[in-house]
Amino acid sequence: MTAGTLRHVADLATPALLVDLDAFEANLADMAAALPGPRLRPHVKAHKTTALAARQAALGHRGFTCATVREVEGMVAAGLGEDLLLANEVLDASRLGPLVEAGARITVAVDSEQTLAAAVAGGVREVLVDVNVGLPRCGIAPERAGWLAERARASGVEVRGVMGYEGHLMMVPDPADRARRTEECMALLLAAHADVGGDVVSGGGTGTYAMNTWVTEVQAGSYALMDTAYTAAGLPFRQALTVLGTVVSATAPAGDAPGWAVADVGLKALGMDHGNPAVPGASVWFCSDEHLTFGGGSPPSVGDRVHVLPAHVDPTIALHERMHLVRGDEVLDTWEVDLRGW
Amino acid sequence: MTAGTLRHVADLATPALLVDLDAFEANLADMAAALPGPRLRPHVKAHKTTALAARQAALGHRGFTCATVREVEGMVAAGLGEDLLLANEVLDASRLGPLVEAGARITVAVDSEQTLAAAVAGGVREVLVDVNVGLPRCGIAPERAGWLAERARASGVEVRGVMGYEGHLMMVPDPADRARRTEECMALLLAAHADVGGDVVSGGGTGTYAMNTWVTEVQAGSYALMDTAYTAAGLPFRQALTVLGTVVSATAPAGDAPGWAVADVGLKALGMDHGNPAVPGASVWFCSDEHLTFGGGSPPSVGDRVHVLPAHVDPTIALHERMHLVRGDEVLDTWEVDLRGW
């Protein structure tokens, strides 16, 4: 988008999503080495950006995981519809059938007769049976997976296999404990797979990508950009995403009262379900709609720029229209976050 | 937008923001009775929707409060630029000057020499001095407000008065305590005003609209649509905003294990800084990116619709592209949330 017009970070209006290009490329390369080609089915919900997905595809990961119909539509429109898994149940698949007709390969997760019927009615031709492996969310009970696969085949759709997401284990602090519990979950998934059949056993995420050796493909997404929650879980990927802010107000210490500064990075620029973001070298006090109040460290001046590290990458990105790829002070490219909404 | 094409709530794709038209209109009428005309300067950050602001203007509130330059631009574009207060400090006001040139009235909050210089450089002609009345965020110390006003006048801009937001008191549970502490804050603001001069003393919010009798205008915004946090604070306004979801998965109780259901209203559809949303008659377990898991009550079926009550209205709306005005099962109109982003 910005070819020929090199810009500097200092010229960006704030708040602005920044991607450290070197860290991002290192994350992609490290993951591609660990899970080459189709062993990784990157989840686009983490970044909602087709330009970023194209980088993942260029490294050999040509199948993608989506969480919404909008994400599937956008990936197809971007020419990335070779093998898309909507890893989520929907009751209205009517926007998917025309994409399949036009040549996209779209597989939809089903965990009930109703979601199977919706997929069939919408013109979807391939499904995975979504299996509950311990996270109380979507997924049919393992022992009923074979029954649903039979219903699906009787409905005339292809059953490609199973998926089961051990999302409740992603942040388990001790890796050995995380691995042991992942194995238990995957035993449930493999038992279901024995009843269901098909080539695909899909699951896993950034927190279990290295230890989930039972699935045929891992659905990791956060690894590309990272956040403070996953960093705290001890993963080897680098924090590539920050939100650039400007200090709009600063109050000096007075007597015993500490000073503080306010940056223009607030609740509308940050996913907050994992708590406050971090500001390196400072202590975050609280966030308001358009403000982040922080203290500690060397007091910044009004006009200074700060890099804010989000606690949860996915909902943070969903609040932004674009992300800027930077190396040092140079903005090398700008990508639209084009898969937002529903 | 939907004139002549009456739709039903059942036909909406989910998740979808719904506004109960009767509750919304009652909230606007009640507030207009309490704070008529210019006594209220509605804050658009709460709803980010010019069509909604036009309803507030139609009731006599023709001056508005904004939190971002984008909000100011959008309000001017919508013909609502009669008297806009950017109640926030900015270091880049360059997009505001052209709007002023074109006839919009725009007043900007300043609390430092730097933000004053930015306003002047950007072509802004009127400012308010933002005073810290106890919330550790923006605002100059009350005793220095007069000094900044003097600097502003020396820079050639008009000083319209002061603003000071007692945001830390909005959720104080006991109204008497909230009122007492509001009085203390406003004493600071009035002292600053005595030094600054001008006609405007701006402050307050939905939590203190009835008790802040010291300001000349109240900056309330949340009252129009409400959320569970403000409802819990005992305010008389009605919950007009819900997020409509579809149950995409349901797991029946098994033995001693309770059942649960999953709706398609997750972290990307909900501001989470005030905690989980509420589902009437049910118990919310947790939210994921695109999912809300809840239990209790009579177990819903896959395909059922649920109304989710957000805990914080402002960041919830910032995640949605549009809101639908409904009465019962009828969708009467759809408004674009057109002031999002920066």
Q: Which residues of B touch A137 (CB under 8 A)?
A: 249, 262, 288, 291, 293
pLDDT for A5: 65
- Tell me which chain B residue has its CA closest to the CA of residue A266: B315
* A314: contact with B, CB 8 A cutoff: yes
Which among A136, A262, A273 has CB closest to B138? Answer: A262
Residue that the structure tokens 């080539």 belong to: A199
User: pLDDT confidence of B4, banded at 50, 70, 90?
Assistant: low
Tell me the per-residue pLDDT of B285-338, one tens digit each, with 9 for 90 and over. 999 999 999 998 788 999 999 999 999 999 999 999 999 999 999 999 999 999
Q: Let me know if residue A336 belongs to a domain.
A: no
Which among A138, A248, A342 has CB closest to B115? Answer: A248
Q: Let me know if residue B340 belongs to a domain.
A: no
Q: Let me know if residue B254 belongs to a domain.
A: no
Q: Let me know if residue B146 belongs to a domain.
A: yes
Is A302 in contact with B68 (Cβ distance < 8 A)?
A: no
Q: Please report, in tens digits, the pLDDT of each residue of chain A (342 residues total).
A: 445 567 999 999 999 999 999 999 999 999 999 999 999 999 999 999 999 999 999 999 999 999 999 999 999 999 999 999 999 999 999 999 999 999 999 999 999 999 999 999 999 999 999 999 999 999 999 999 999 999 999 999 999 999 999 999 999 999 999 999 999 999 999 999 999 999 999 999 999 999 999 999 999 999 999 999 999 888 999 999 999 999 999 999 988 889 999 999 999 999 999 999 999 999 999 999 999 999 987 889 999 999 999 999 999 999 999 999 999 999 999 999 999 999
Token reading at B157: 């801009």
Neighbour-count burial of A64, counting CB atoms closer than 10 A to its CB (0-12 exposed, 13-18 middle, 19+ buried): buried
- Give the residue among B165, B169, B208, B214 at the shortest CA–CA distance from B190: B214
pTM here is 0.96
Q: Are A88 and A109 in contact (CB under 8 A)?
A: yes
Residue that the structure tokens 């976050």 belong to: A337
The tally of domains found in chain A comes to 1
pLDDT for B297: 79
- Domain containing A113 equals 24-222
Q: Let me know if residue B247 belongs to a domain.
A: no
ipTM: 0.95
Q: Let me know if residue B39 belongs to a domain.
A: yes
- Tell me which chain A residue has its CA closest to the CA of residue B89: A248
pLDDT for A2: 46
Q: Let me know if residue A67 belongs to a domain.
A: yes
Amino acid identity for residue B252 in this structure? A
Q: Let me know if residue B235 belongs to a domain.
A: no
pLDDT for A4: 55
**Average pLDDT in the B22-41 region?**
98
Is A132 in contact with B251 (Cβ distance < 8 A)?
A: yes
Which among A45, A92, A262 has CB closest to B13? Answer: A92
Is A137 in contact with B302 (Cβ distance < 8 A)?
A: no
* B34: contact with A, CB 8 A cutoff: no
pLDDT for B2: 46
Kindly report the three-state secondary structure assignment for every residue of chain B: CCCCCCEEHHHCCCCEEEEEHHHHHHHHHHHHHHCCHHHECCEHHHCCCHHHHHHHHHCCCCEEEECCHHHHHHHHHCCCCCEEEECCCCCCCCCCHHHHHCCCCEEEEECCHHHHHHHHHCCCCEEEEEECCCCCCCCECHHHHHHHHHHHHHCCCEEEEEEECCHHHCCCCCHHHHHHHHHHHHHHHHHHHHHHCCCEEEECCCCCCCCCCCCCEECCCHHHCCCHHHHHCCCCCCCCEEEEEEEEEEECCECCECCEEEECCCCCCCCCCCCCCECCCCEEEEECCCCEEEECCCCCCCCCEEEEECCCHHHHHCCCCEEEEEECCEEEEEEECCCCCC
- Tell me which chain A residue has its CA closest to the CA of residue B287: A273
pLDDT for B5: 65
Which among B112, B137, B315 has CB closest to A267? Answer: B315
Residue that the structure tokens 């395909």 belong to: B303
* A139: contact with B, CB 8 A cutoff: yes
Q: Which residues of A touch B136 (CB under 8 A)?
A: 251, 260, 285, 293
Tell me the per-residue pLDDT of B204-250, one tens digit each, with 9 for 90 and over. 999 999 999 999 999 999 999 999 999 988 899 999 999 999 999 99
CB contact residues (below 8 A), chain A span 198-257, against chain B: 246, 248-251, 254
Residue B136 is part of a domain; what is its CATH number? Answer: 3.20.20.10
pLDDT for A254: 87
